[in-house]
């Protein structure tokens, strides 16, 4: 009979530890997403910068870590595992630079859009909700992309950033549409 209360105490202790660990992981993930998605960048953002802002500069990322080039090279005579590792390392570094640039451009566009919203004569709560959703989606996408990039570097899988580029382009479109008429062509 005494084993039943002892069993419940052990289960409660294990459940408490599991809940504490889950809460800690949730908080850590929230902090990482917040740092990535809400990272403020330096301003001023000029009309020229906005006009030149384009998701096209991130198109090379779509193929850089997809693995198709590596598969082609594996079929070539003389190709070795060491060569594959070196290629993955080089592409890892390039891709990492693209991710940093994408994050910086996204952050600048978000800050510029927020500034335009603050100074606008018309309230846009719908745009605020859309912007928040984009920030959260982008933040989660960056966490995912970085995790997949680490796996890619280790020789596992590929990295797909199409959704990140789409979110960036959506914010870019919102930013351009929020500009006063005649500011940027």
Going residue by residue through the chain (185 aa), what tens digit of pLDDT does each one get? 556 676 667 777 788 888 888 888 888 777 777 666 555 545 556 667 777 778 888 888 888 877 777 788 888 888 888 888 888 899 999 999 999 999 999 999 998 888 888 887 888 888 889 999 999 999 999 999 999 999 998 888 889 999 999 999 999 999 888 877 655 44
Tokens (6 digits) for 184: 């940027």
> What's the CA angle centered on 76, arms 74 and 77, to 5 degrees?
115
User: What is the pLDDT at residue 74?
Assistant: 83
Alpha-helix runs per DSSP H in the chain: 3-37, 47-52, 61-64, 68-74, 81-119, 125-153, 162-178
Query: Rounded to the nearest 5°, which phi and psi values hold at 126?
Result: -65, -40
Q: Where are the domains of the chain?
A: 38-178
CA angle 153, 36, 61 (to 5 degrees): 45
Please report the pLDDT score of residue 45 as a whole number: 65
What is the predicted pLDDT for the residue at 185? 45
Residue 106's pLDDT is what? 94
Give the pLDDT score at 99. 95
pLDDT of residue 94: 93
């Amino acid at each position: 009979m005494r084993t039943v209360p002892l069993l419940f105490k052990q289960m409660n202790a294990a459940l408490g530890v599991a809940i504490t660990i889950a809460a800690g992981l949730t908080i850590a993930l929230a902090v990482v997403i917040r740092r990535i998605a809400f990272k403020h960048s330096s301003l001023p953002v000029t009309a020229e910068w906005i006009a030149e802002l384009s998701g096209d500069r991130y198109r090379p990322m779509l193929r850089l870590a997809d693995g198709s080039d590596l598969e082609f090279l594996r079929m070539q005579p003389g190709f070795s595992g060491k060569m594959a590792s070196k290629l993955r390392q080089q592409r890892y570094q390039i891709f990492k630079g693209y991710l940093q640039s994408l994050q910086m451009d996204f952050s600048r566009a978000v800050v510029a859009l927020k500034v335009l919203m603050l100074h606008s004569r018309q309230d846009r709560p719908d745009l605020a909700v859309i912007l928040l959703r984009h920030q959260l989606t982008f933040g989660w996408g960056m966490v995912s992309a970085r995790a997949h990039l680490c796996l890619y570097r280790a020789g596992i899988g590929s990295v797909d950033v199409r959704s990140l580029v789409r979110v960036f382009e959506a914010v870019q479109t919102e930013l351009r549409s929020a500009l006063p008429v005649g500011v940027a062509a």
